[in-house]
Amino acid sequence: MGRRRTALTALVVVGAFGLGAATGVVVGRDDDAAPAAPPTSAPSVTAPPPAAPSPTADVPRRPRNVVLIVGDGTGDSEITAARAYAYGAGGRLPGIDAIDRTASVTTWSRLPGSGLPDLVPDSAATATGWATGVRTYDGAIGVDLDGKARPSLLELAQADGLRSGIVTTARVQDATPAAQLAHVARRECRGPEATTQQCPDDALENGGAGSITEQILTRRADVVLGGGDGHLDERATAGAWKGATLRERAKDEGFRLPTDTDGLAALVPASSPVLGLFADADLATRWSGPPSTRTGGADEPVRCTPNDALPDTQPTLRDMTTAALRLLDDPAAPEGFFLQVEGASIDKSAHGADPCAQIGETVDLDEAVRAVLDFARDDGSTLVVLTADHGQAGQIIEAGTTTPGLTRSLLTADDAVLTLSYGTSPAEVKQRHTGVQVPLAATGPGAEGLVGVLDQTEIFTILRDALELDGP
């Protein structure tokens, strides 16, 4: 079906979210409600403000833009821990909990060769699922079980004349953003050297499309923001840019390359693409605290602190999201935009059994969700959908106890003890994902189709049809 020319907008947010009935109401929140730093004392816990009137009677039935926000590894336990820690047991996350049309998403991948179900998927397979509508094997980036490239939502949007963007707190070559931007056999093939060694069929010298970084440059999405600057210093092994660094290629091809908050804030809408990389690899997390240990749950509960290693020049997820919306939104343009936003280090912190980093990154995600909801409310025609890619290891257990795994007790905003346990791997190695369904929440035009129990690949179909994109 052809892309129709209208003035409608859709916003999709991915994570484990929403507390209310399936009514599609966006609840108004005070922008000052979320803590910019970990709480250092126990504020009083108040009930959330009353819900704003439902916008569904006045919003268009079809969206103009889609913003897909992904909370990586952000299931019910992660959301509950962040809510309880930052706002108390009776509090609410101002962004995440403001969306109350809810659903559940089944998430699994396939085993290479046999194609049998793998009930504990990784971020590459799950992101490829909603990006392309195809269920594939763990590690696959934008390809099916046979290694065939499948077009992503971002690519279909570009082909139909929409502007496009990616925002992440990981390196932009990481699995979740890469599934919209590239097609390689393995997620590790971020630069030319790794691609030659691990994805030879994808390497430029063998006639392939190149590494993830090279494909990002070829794809020329309008806005790509995150980490991964170190990969621009790698050199091309073939093609017109053989021997040159990928940074040299990006500059010569007209990319704007901001590297800090000032550079990001100075950007203005223009025809040249933006590739903003604010760390060599992943962005630093906002909060820190003692790691989980074998007996940490029984230790004196602590409060999280700001991360001293966080550079002053690094933008937050909200900063990057707001900038992307500002750069992509053009009410006078005949077409809208597609934007995917990811809070990546919720998952990465859970892998490391680091509860303070995990909770801080969830609050960081919540602030970005609020920015998107503000945009959607002002725009008046935006679909918002919030989901996660897979489950993670952290579980809330009885306060002050330990388990055979790793535990840590924290002191929440209302002085309660919050004990988290990580027990999906031996203590000496990183914690693993869990095989659970994940939540989804939605509001705006098209949200009425995002209810019940959905397969993760259906997200692709629903968003493709909402934007009336041509494609499979």
Q: Of 123, 211, 292, 421, which is the active-site residue?
A: 123
Region of 217 (left: φ > 0; alpha: ψ -120 to 50; beta: rest) is alpha
- Based on the residue annotation, tell me whether 123 is a catalytic residue of this protein: yes
Any idea of the CA torsion for 181, 12, 383, 460, to the nearest 10 degrees?
A: 60
Burial pattern 139-148, b for ≥16 Cβ within 10 A else e, equals: bbbbbbbebe
- As given in the structure block, the two tokens for residue 302 are 């602590």
- The number of beta carbons lying within 10 Å of the beta carbon of residue 394 is 31
Of 71, 78, 53, 202, residue with least CA distance to 127: 71
Given strand 223-227, what is the order of strands in its sheet? 274-277, 223-227, 163-171, 337-343
Q: Is 370 within 8 Å of 267 (Cβ atoms)? A: no
Q: Which residues pair with 19 in a beta bridge?
A: none
Q: Is 294 within 8 Å of 408 (Cβ atoms)? A: no
Q: Is 319 within 8 Å of 261 (Cβ atoms)? A: yes
Q: Return phi, psi of residue 328, to 5°.
A: -90, -30
Q: Return phi, psi of residue 25, to 5°.
A: -85, 135
Sign of the torsion formed by the C-alpha atoms of 327, 328, 330 and 331: negative
Q: What is the bridge-based pairing of β-strands 417-422 and 406-411?
A: antiparallel
Sign of the torsion formed by the C-alpha atoms of 123, 126, 130 and 136: positive
Of 132, 127, 217, 140, residue with least CA distance to 176: 127
Rounded distance between C-alpha atoms, residue 416 and residue 437, angstroms: 28
Say which residue the tokens 């108040």 belong to: 46
- The number of beta carbons lying within 10 Å of the beta carbon of residue 370 is 22
- As given in the structure block, the two tokens for residue 225 are 């923001």
Rounded distance between C-alpha atoms, residue 20 and residue 1, angstroms: 35
From residue 236, give the alpha-carbon distance in Å to each of 85, 179, 281, 402.
47, 21, 19, 51
**Residues with catalytic function:** 123
